[in-house]
Amino acid sequence: MVDYLTAGGSNSGQFQGLQIANGARSATWSNKKYENAEAWEFADAIPSWGPVLADTAGRVTNEYLNFFTSIDIPPADPVARRHADALAIQLVNKNAQIAGLRSQLPSDWNRFNNSQQSLPSQHRMSYQTWLAQVGGVKLAVAEADYRTLASDWGYWSNLAGGGNQAISVAQQEYNNPGYQLQVTYSSGVQLPKRVWHLTPRLADFVGQAKKGQGTRLSITMNSSTRKNDTTQSSWGSGGFLLFFICLGAGGNGKRIDVDTSSADFSMTFDAPAFTGIRITPGPWFNRSVLTQYRNGPFISTSPYGNGKASFFDSQGSFSLMKETVYVAYQPTVRARIDKSAHQQMQESWNRGSGLSIGPFSFGGQSSTGSTNRDTFESSKDEITLVSKSPDPQIIAVQNSIMP
């Protein structure tokens, strides 16, 4: 599968950046009403360093702001520069405050909305009214403060001269309201978010898959299949994930060993539709700034000054950025495995725990309802698992190693 995703070029030099999913992820943004909110949240999340797909709490939008407000450029006007540096710290702190307030909105709104359900409908407060009069007051004040700080920071950065004008332009693009859209979350909360582009759209891919018009995925592995040897790479190897079996859907549960050296071993992954969805940030993002100042220098009082923290190495806060997410629609896995693994899988399914094989998940969390459930078939020699989920499963993500 690694060879399939990398067009056969899976040596240690070319393999870096590819993360295999562990059966715990589905692409859930095909609902057009919530598409931008969910898709852009996925794109914005920074993955942890390593061969397994797992998102950190870090966000590209936040780390990009942290980066260009931490750069230490020799100014033409040192006094103006001191003003800009002081404002940069306030700008980053205010952005963190806004992120915190926005993250609280869904739970705050749900709590308030639930409390008013006993009232007649004409006396209930709409989300927009609640946001303006109750829940969003602190957020509105913080966002107004941010706009003032951003304007002041841009003014003093331009006045400082030197290379600060380029950073000021990056800040203006970052805060340009034309590069942001109001998105709706499933909770009903609406918030502005910076634009991302995901191509093709997941809804279009699912629509084509339902019509039988997708690009089919078919991969077969057996005891003679070449294994990828990337153990000498600083990245590590994700090849082992293709053979793991987990007694539990969503990658949760006990992993069992499978004898892949047996002459009888084989595993086939099929899906009626498969694609790679390209992820790119909107015009608010300027990668050349990251490239030009990748080594700083950074303001000594910032979190990144004097080597206190880093942006771009394996321990950095901005080490990876998603480029392509690979998804498969309603996959099928057929496996010929040893007797012990076969029995354990059968017992797990009978308990209702579900199963994960490689990046795919079946049953348990992935079941979609009593009339449209994933299926498990077992014969003496073979196990067959079929997904009926309406949401494509994420196989892998190709990341750009920053900057």
Please write the tens of the pLDDT for every residue from 126-163: 888 888 888 888 888 998 998 899 888 888 887 877 66
pLDDT at 372 over 70: no
Residue 381: inside a domain, yes or no? yes
User: How does residue 164 score in pLDDT terms, banded at 50, 70 and 90?
Assistant: low
- Strand locations in 71-141 (E): none
pLDDT at 331 over 90: yes
- Which of the two residues, 366 and 35, has the higher pLDDT score? 35
Q: Which helix (H) or strand (E) holds 82?
A: helix 78-115
Average pLDDT value over all residues in the chain: 83
Residue 369: inside a domain, yes or no? yes
**In the chain, how many domains are there?**
1
- Which of the two residues, 279 and 298, has the higher pLDDT score? 279
Task: Output the pLDDT for position 310.
Answer: 85
**% of the chain with per-residue pLDDT over 70:** 86
| The two structure tokens encoding residue 284 | 């608010």
Task: Output the pLDDT for position 224.
Answer: 73
pLDDT at 278 over 90: yes
pTM here? Answer: 0.80
Helices (H) and strands (E) in the chain, counts: 10, 18
pLDDT at 181 over 80: yes
Residue 148: inside a domain, yes or no? no
The predicted model gives 328-340 an average pLDDT of 89
Q: Sheet with 375-378: list strands edge to edge.
A: 217-222, 266-271, 332-336, 383-386, 375-378
Task: Output the pLDDT for position 209.
Answer: 94
How far is residue 255 from each of residues 22, 115, 283, 325, 360, measured CA to CA in Å? Answer: 11, 43, 43, 25, 14
Task: Output the pLDDT for position 58.
Answer: 92
Task: Output the pLDDT for position 122.
Answer: 86
Which residues are 281's β-sheet partners? 196
The predicted model gives 5-34 an average pLDDT of 73
Positive or negative, the CA dihedral 320, 322, 324, 325 is positive
User: How does residue 231 score in pLDDT terms, banded at 50, 70 and 90?
Assistant: very low
3-class secondary structure, 353: coil
Domain that holds residue 204: 2-31+199-277+324-401
Residue 39: inside a domain, yes or no? no
Question: For residue 254, is it left (φ>0), alpha (ψ between -120 and 50) or beta?
Answer: beta
Residue 163: inside a domain, yes or no? no
The predicted model gives 346-374 an average pLDDT of 74
Alpha-helical (H) ranges within 250-311 are 287-292
Task: Output the pLDDT for position 7.
Answer: 54
Task: Output the pLDDT for position 239.
Answer: 42
User: How does residue 3 score in pLDDT terms, banded at 50, 70 and 90?
Assistant: low
How far, in Å, CA of 122 to CA of 120, rounded? 6
Which tens digit of pLDDT belongs to each residue from 84-116?
A: 888 888 988 998 898 889 888 888 998 999 999
Task: Output the pLDDT for position 2.
Answer: 57
Residue 359: inside a domain, yes or no? yes
Q: Which of 175-179, 310-314, 365-369 ranks highest by mean pLDDT?
A: 175-179
How far, in Å, CA of 245 to CA of 355, rounded? 7
Which tens digit of pLDDT belongs to each residue from 243-273?
A: 477 777 665 667 777 777 777 888 889 999 9
Residue 253: inside a domain, yes or no? yes
- Prior bond to 403 cis, omega within 30? yes
The predicted model gives 67-79 an average pLDDT of 82
**% of the chain with per-residue pLDDT over 90:** 28
Task: Output the pLDDT for position 313.
Answer: 82
pLDDT at 47 over 70: yes
Residue 312 · residue 402 · CB < 8 Å: yes
Task: Output the pLDDT for position 381.
Answer: 77
Residue 360: inside a domain, yes or no? yes
